[in-house]
Amino acid sequence: MEKVSVSVIIPTICSKTRAVSLTRAIDSVFLSVNLDIQVIVVVNGEKYDLEAIKALEGDSRLTVIMLTEGNVSLARYEGLIKSTGEFFCFLDDDDELLPNGLTLRANFLKNNNAVDVVVTNGFVSNAGEDIPLVLSDKAEQINANKERAFLEQNWFASCAPLFRASSINPEIFKIDLKYFEWTYIFFLLISHNINIYYISALGYKKYEDNQGSVSKSSEYFLAYPDFLLKLYDLDLSLNVKKNVRKKYLTALNALANHELSFGLLRRAWGTHFECITHGGWRFLPFTRHLVVALVRRLV
């Protein structure tokens, strides 16, 4: 029986500090059997470690691509357009696939031609404790209303989906976002009527105790309101847009509070005004905190 071909794209800065986790990620791919596996490692940026690069280039299992620009979204796209598999997926260099995690996804897509993307559950590892990202009884709820379920909890982790190459336009992944790229990709797929199906099988382990994660940065937090506006511009249902708008107003209020806590009073007033004028009347009581801060500064 002919093996199913699967391409796995791994973007990495290939620094010395990422060498151990990168090796773990690569080795985890080959724990899936009965597949014709292509692993494409995309080294993005110029902060790479020369010894780590030599190790990659000496591994006959890998295709290595070097990019001068340090852009993880561009790295995913460049890896994708070089891929040849019937199915493809992405794996961050600090995460790993569970044994046969790819095999179960590939078999599902092979047996369900109407499905374009299959998503599995997985473990989130933090401080040595592994917890399933999604409760095991949530599959039916997710598949009944994927957008609403996603807005309640992000179950579309970067290492969770496997894509049918013939159904996906690679340009979907040609995005210019530093943060929230997987949220944007999810809703972009929805706007293109891509059929996504979730199964509760455990297929990966995602490590959340990485101190270098961009999701822990202040910039990540500050970028959230503008990202939600970008998301709102997609061709989505009115109900989804309504929920995105609510999140946008909440994000503006959180940003104003953040700015106030750092003494950026003028910016906090501006963000609060934007929130109120766009319909965030429920956050009007926050004005009192700004007035108190202003009085204290004047006194």
Q: Is the dihedral of CA 96, 191, 135, 246 positive or negative?
A: positive
Q: What is the pLDDT of residues 111-152, one digit of tens each?
A: 999 999 999 999 999 888 999 999 989 999 999 999 999 999
Predicted pLDDT of residue 275: 96
- What is the rounded distance in angstroms from the CA atom of residue 180 to the CA atom of residue 186? 10
Range 29-49 burial, b when 16+ CB lie within 10 A, else e? beebeebebbbbbbbbbeebb
Predicted pLDDT of residue 215: 52
- What is the rounded distance in angstroms from the CA atom of residue 82 to the CA atom of residue 49? 23
Predicted pLDDT of residue 177: 84
- What is the rounded distance in angstroms from the CA atom of residue 117 to the CA atom of residue 89? 10
Q: What is the pLDDT of residues 90-108, one digit of tens each?
A: 999 999 999 999 999 999 9
Predicted pLDDT of residue 95: 95
pLDDT beneath 50, residues of the chain: none
Domain ranges of the chain: 4-216, 218-298
In this structure, which topology does domain 4-216 adopt according to CATH?
Answer: Spore Coat Polysaccharide Biosynthesis Protein SpsA; Chain A (3.90.550)
